[in-house]
Every structure is written in C-alpha cells, then in structure tokens.
C-alpha cells in the first residue's frame, strides 16, 4: 500500500500546483518524493481557507450525520480557495 501511495503522490507532486486535503491525518500522510523536480505544490487542508469556524478538519458526515454542515464547510473552503488562487496569480 505504501508503494502505491508514494507513486500516487509523486505523480500528483509533478502534476498539480495545489494538493488540498480534508483533514490533518490526510495532510500528514503526504510524503514529498525525494526527486521533486521543479514543482513544489501547496499542501493545505481545506479548512485552512475557512475563517471563523471552530473546526480544524472537515468533519466526516458519515460519522456526524450532519451532511448540511459538512457541505457548507466544503463550499466555503472551495470558494475561499478559489479567491486565494485568483489573488495569488492576479486573476480577475
């Protein structure tokens, strides 16, 4: 399993500018490849883009039963992530 994960992450590391995870465990599971090439993607949690919330991770609605709350956090996070990308790259 670790081999597949490392290969998956290496491919993603080369291809993407951003790798966004739902929780801290997912973020810790990312191990940059030894040969990173020229690309170094931003690795962040989606909740890093949600302000004024008590949550540190996106809660799993399978366990909480609160799908609406999880949806609202994901929506806010995605909207703010997009705004952050637009600011960073001077896109209107």
pLDDT > 70: what percent of the chain?
80
Instruction: Go through the domains of the chain in sequence order and give each one's CATH number.
Output: 2-88 (3.40.50.2300)
Give CB contacts under 8 A, 24+ apart, made by 45-51.
45/20, 45/21, 46/20, 46/21, 46/22, 46/73, 46/74, 46/77, 46/78, 46/81, 47/73, 47/77, 49/76, 49/77, 49/78, 49/80, 49/81, 49/84, 50/76, 50/77, 50/80, 51/80
More confident residue, 11 or 33: 11
More confident residue, 28 or 71: 71
Q: Note the pLDDT of residue 1.
A: 43
Q: Note the pLDDT of residue 43.
A: 86
């Amino acid at each position: 399993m670790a081999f597949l994960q490392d290969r998956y992450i290496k491919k993603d590391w080369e291809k993407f500018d951003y790798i966004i995870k739902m929780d801290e465990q997912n973020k810790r599971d990312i191990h940059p490849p030894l040969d990173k090439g020229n690309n170094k993607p931003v690795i962040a949690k989606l909740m890093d883009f949600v302000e004024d919330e008590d949550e540190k991770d996106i809660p799993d609605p399978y366990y909480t039963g609160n799908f609406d709350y999880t949806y609202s956090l994901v929506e806010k996070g995605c909207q703010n992530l997009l705004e952050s990308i637009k600011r960073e790259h001077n896109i209107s």
